Copies of this chain bind each other. A is one copy, B any other.
Amino acid sequence: MEDLMPTVTFLPGYRKVTVPEGTSLLDAARAAGLAMNVVCGGQGKCGKCLVFIKSGNVSFEREKFRKFFSDPEIARGACLACQATVLGDVLVDVPEGSLIQEQKILVEIPGREEIPLNPAVRKYEVYLSPPSLDDTTPDLTRLLEGVEAVGGPPPNRVYAPLGVLRYLPQVLRRSDWHVTATVALVPGGYRLSSVDKGDTTGRVYGAAVDLGTTTVVVYLWSLVDGQILSTASNYNRQISCGEDILSRVNFSRKGGLARLQHLAAESINEALKSAADAAGIDLEEVFEVMVAGNTVMTHLFLGIDPGYMIAEPYIPVVQRMLSTAARRVGIATHENTGIYTFPAVSNFIGGDVIADILATGMTEREEVTLLIDIGTNFEAVLGNRDWMLSCSGAAGPALEGGEVLFGMRANPGAIESIQIDPATLTPTYTTINSIAAPRGICGSGLVDLVAELLRACVIDRTGGINLEIDHPRIRKGRYAPEFVVAWKEETQIGKDIVITENDIKNLIMSKAAIHGACMTLLDAAGLTARDIERVCLSGAFGNYINKENAITIGLIPDVPLERVENIGNGAITGANIALVNRKRRKELDGLARKITYIELNADPSFMDRYTSSCFLPHTDLSLFPRVQQMLEACRLGQGVGSRQG
């Protein structure tokens, strides 16, 4: 008998199978081990099991299903596998699109390597068989069984919110039982977030949010193909209740918590709205929002009292990742949108730093990475995929231009990079937005300035200005010895822009705090600077800083330049990663628990390390071998100071 039965051969791959006459091509394909795409369950309704008959004989009412095929497809012998039956030997070409494929899309995360697209929210298009007297399965079960048949989770693991059940019967019937179900992986199972008419599988969006103290940044993603649709940013409108974290916590303690919560949500909503408008999408189709913020910002956004964090013994209410409904926190997306906040390690190592860590990729790597996020407060994390230590502290405002006479934030007109000719002491500088006349000097400019003055031997290793150098730019100054960076004629402010010895000392204290912290972490890990295989600088400061100069002044340990990397806005990068890949997201709580926090104030050795770091670059030059070489070269005659001093 067997050799009388027709043989069906499937291209590409020439898979052969022998089946009884009258078998559908779909069943033949299954018998050949091919997973055909049959959304409608083989009813000829979805048109997704398209195949081409290369040769041989099948029975198929092509006119009945004409609507599914283009003319060229007809010309190639288009059939629906589920509706065609085998009459004799046949050679069938199966296009790739007709096979169910494991989604293996790689997502390019800005500033990071590619990661697999694996979102927690997915859509499932289903063609359900309508109920009948012979099949009285309830609507919900019918839907969830259909979803399972096309790769969704088992029905009994899916929670259906009342809101969805209240419109489910109508949407199923109005769409003639062809709907798209949106299913989200949530703690403890899955949630049926939405059921929509027809095929909406192309539209599943998610948002990553960096909720900063000053700025809110939003990235809007298509979770179908892992593309960024748009980005937007906004001021954090909480600024009206206080510039810095501490004043906002105080505002919240005086009954302002609900207002701060509202302002955080509104700031995010505005950014979401701009991003959605730019992308031409509806926020109702955003099903997940991943928010990275520091510990206080996360509390405020969720409306949880941060008050106990600012007084001894400094206790947060919650550090774990929280998931909550958008409507509970006033985020204007779909009513079943899940909002996730990054977990924290401590009050100071918050969700933003966890996001930074994710952004560095250090959770996946064996090499030892030192992550530093520099601001008025700094955070440092040392480790690799197996262990991590962290600490944080106050660097003071000097590196952001505060407590420096002509210091300023990184705004247009700020000197952002400087070179000084060691022979003439003439500075060459660039300003932000290339505005010709400078207004002041921002952090990256200050780092350059101190490094260049040291190289030119204008200042010594304690930061003292050598007044013995006879040069118009070096003068006694009103408050302290100073160096003129720009003459008033060059500036926008009608004043000489100078850096004073006091400014330099403030900068040294700031950098010493950061370097001392890094040394404390290294020491706690039993490592030295030589063991650091990678330094990652996070935040705006890291993006603009001259790495070599940062090493020269002893801000970061002396490692080969190619090992220093700017990761930019690590908070948004980490939020992006956790949004598009649910596996990475799931690991975050475990990651946060794994990170040991070292309290610098409680570590007596930190003060010693800080004091030793209060030099350029450090008391112990053996820690900075390359800087030592450079300084020796300078002393050997290149710097003005070395000639005259």
Q: Which of A's residues lie within 8 Å of B, judged by CB?
A: 131-133, 135-141, 156, 159-160, 162, 165-166, 168-170, 173, 186-189, 302-305, 307-308, 312-320, 322, 324, 328-329, 346-347, 589, 599, 602
Contact = CB atoms under 8 A, between A and B. Distances in A.
A162 B313 contact: no
Nearest to A157: B188
Given A132-B313, A318-B160, A169 B307 contact: yes
B317 A139 contact: yes
A139 B313 CA distance: 12
A305 B164 CA distance: 11
Contacts of A322: 160, 162, 165
A577 B317 CA distance: 38
Given A133-B602, A140-B320, 9 more contacts: A131-B315, A133-B314, A138-B316, A139-B316, A140-B317, A162-B304, A165-B322, A168-B304, A169-B307
Contacts of A136: 313-315, 346-347
A318 B140 CA distance: 5
Contacts of A188: 159, 186-189
Contacts of A303: 162, 166
Contacts of A189: 187-188
Contacts of A312: 133
Nearest to A189: B188
B589 A318 contact: no
Given A162-B303, A188-B188, A131 B313 contact: yes
A628 B411 CA distance: 105
A308 B133 contact: no
A304 B166 contact: yes
Contacts of A329: 162
A189 B156 CA distance: 14
Contacts of A314: 133, 136
B187 A318 contact: no
Contacts of A159: 187-188
A602 B133 CA distance: 9
B187 A317 contact: no
Contacts of A138: 315-320
A530 B347 CA distance: 74
Contact of A317 (B132, B165, B324, B589): B165
Contact of A313 (B133, B156, B170, B313): B133
Contacts of A187: 159, 188-189
19 contacts: A131-B315, A133-B313, A133-B599, A136-B314, A136-B346, A136-B347, A139-B316, A140-B317, A162-B302, A162-B304, A165-B304, A166-B305, A168-B317, A169-B304, A169-B307, A170-B305, A187-B189, A188-B188, A188-B189
B162 A320 contact: no
A183 to B, nearest CB: 14
A314 to B, nearest CB: 6
Contacts of A141: 318-320
Residue in A315, A322, A346 whose Cβ sees the most chain B Cβ within 10 Å: A315
Nearest to A599: B133
Q: 3 tightest CB-CB pairs across the interface, nearest first?
A: A188-B188, A188-B189, A140-B318
A287 to B, nearest CB: 19
A599 B347 CA distance: 63
A121 to B, nearest CB: 17
Contacts of A173: 308
A186 B166 CA distance: 22
A169 to B, nearest CB: 5
Contacts of A132: 313
A567 B141 CA distance: 32
Nearest to A191: B188
A586 B611 CA distance: 64
A139 B315 contact: yes
A421 B305 CA distance: 81
A382 B320 CA distance: 50
B346 A169 contact: no
A179 to B, nearest CB: 14
Contact of A305 (B156, B169, B313, B315): B169
A477 to B, nearest CB: 43
A195 to B, nearest CB: 11
A442 B164 CA distance: 44
Contacts of A135: 313
Nearest to A344: B138
Contacts of A305: 166, 169-170
Contacts of A160: 318, 322
